[in-house]
A and B are shown apart, each in its own frame.
Chain A
């Protein structure tokens, strides 16, 4: 069965950095585009970042709200995807979900990131 397990969330202060991770299993990770989607408390879903596969040069894409501050990366040898979040703002407070494949096929359980002073 497909599993996506996020980790690394927590409480940070504004302008600080945090790196969250997602461990994938149950599918051919290297063949799948990977995404991060977030959900602020009581709000809807917002796509954050995308990373494509090696044949597509690991191309990355970001929502305007995080461009220049967040970096998505992947390690195919470990079936891991990461989100490095720098210069965090209070409005980045959200549950962050790792999702796999092109059409939001699979979702992890999420990891909470809280940005507060």
Chain B
């Protein structure tokens, strides 16, 4: 199985700061069609997960451009600029390139 290693496990941030979350996979996430199926999800407290970014860098509808995703092959980063209170929660990276699909362990974003 592809192991997704997310760091850090938690982040304390002040409103308005910028943060980055790293996600590294044990195998390349480039599929045979040339696309990279690495996604970012946010789970706010008590809620179900919601996808924010798909295929490395594509923002889902309604997601502010304060969020950005970069990376390739096995190394990916989620950056949040000017953090707002509604951004708090647990962020997960997920891969749908290889079966079984796997998730990172999550990064909890909290207020400092």
Contacts and interface: CB of A to CB of B under 8 A. Distances in A.
Given A44-B92, A45-B92, A45-B94, A107 B49 contact: yes
Given A44-B106, A45-B94, A45-B103, A104 B49 contact: yes
Contact of B94 (A50, A61, A104, A106): A104
Interface of A: 35, 44-47, 50, 61, 63-64, 97, 102-110
Contacts of B49: 45, 97, 104, 107
B103 A46 contact: yes
Interface stretch (B14-22, B50-58, B79-87): B50-58
B96 A104 contact: yes
B100 interface: yes
B103 A61 contact: no
Interface size on B, as a range, is 20 to 34
B48 A109 contact: yes
Ranked nearest first, the 5 interchain pairs of A and B with the lowest CB-CB distance are A47-B101, A45-B103, A107-B48, A103-B54, A44-B105
Given A44-B92, A106-B51, 4 more contacts: A44-B103, A45-B92, A104-B96, A110-B48
Contacts of B94: 45, 104
Contacts of B92: 44-45
A98 B88 CA distance: 23
A30 B44 CA distance: 30
Contacts of A102: 37, 96
B5 interface: no
B50 A105 contact: no
A46 B4 CA distance: 12
Contacts of A110: 48
Nearest to A98: B48
Given A45-B92, A45-B94, A105 B54 contact: yes
Contacts of A109: 48
A103 B106 contact: no
Contacts of B48: 97, 107-110
A63 to B, nearest CB: 5
A50 B51 CA distance: 18
Contact of B51 (A46, A61, A104): A104
